[in-house]
Amino acid sequence: MIKKKIILFVGLMIFLTSCSVFNSLMNLSKLKFKLGDVNNFRVGNILISNKTQLKDFSATDILKLTSQVVSGNFPVSFTVNVLALNPNKQSADNSGINNISLKSFPWTLYINDKKTISGNISNPVNVPAIENATVIPLEMQLDMLEFFKGDGLNNLVNLALSLGGQNGSPSNIKIVAEPVLGTPIGDMSYPSPLTIIEKSFN
């Protein structure tokens, strides 16, 4: 009798685990991403979110930027917010669907279709099972002159402003990512990299 109960218990655990894995797979196939906003954009230590053109910078700031370009660097830092959406709607049919745990999110940043830097999230991100957008902030630090050699101060500042200035947008940015989902039987990766853009969830 005890042996029979053990077998039934093990079978039940396998069944429940299989259901959980199936739900995870279903969630993974539905999870969508798009670019949100770009914020806290700094050139060196100069915040540019309130600027629209080069003349909005002070004379001291322009002198600093010119000196940086002459010395061969143009360091910028900013945050790209990626939105993750699980499109399940609240209903009795999906009451058993679990939240998604993004264990890892290896990404590569492209600016004007030019490949720049790569990184990953520092901690797992929980995405609710029911329709709700979760923000995944990706912190960026790069030397723009390393990837846009030959551009002068005006072009570099205009590019920075187009991304993170007062009228900036992520339209010139794309993120190529390979999300990794945590499941009861281990981590699962997307079959191919995802290209994440501003226009729509994909």
Domain count, the chain: 1
Q: Is residue 201 part of a domain?
A: no
CA 81 to chain centroid, in Å, comes to 6
Per-residue pLDDT, averaged over 144-152, amounts to 90
Average pLDDT over residues 68-79: 94
> Which has the closest alpha carbon to 128: 163, 160, 162, 88?
88
Q: What is the pLDDT of residue 126?
A: 86
Task: State the pTM of this model.
Answer: 0.80
Q: How far is Cα 124 from Cα 98, in angstroms, rounded to an integer?
A: 15
More confident residue, 92 or 99: 99
End-to-end, the C-alpha distance of the chain in Å comes to 53
Considering the domain boundaries, does residue 99 fall inside one? Answer: yes
Q: Which domain holds residue 102?
A: 2-196
pLDDT tens figures, 21-64: 545 444 445 688 999 999 999 999 999 999 999 999 999 999 99
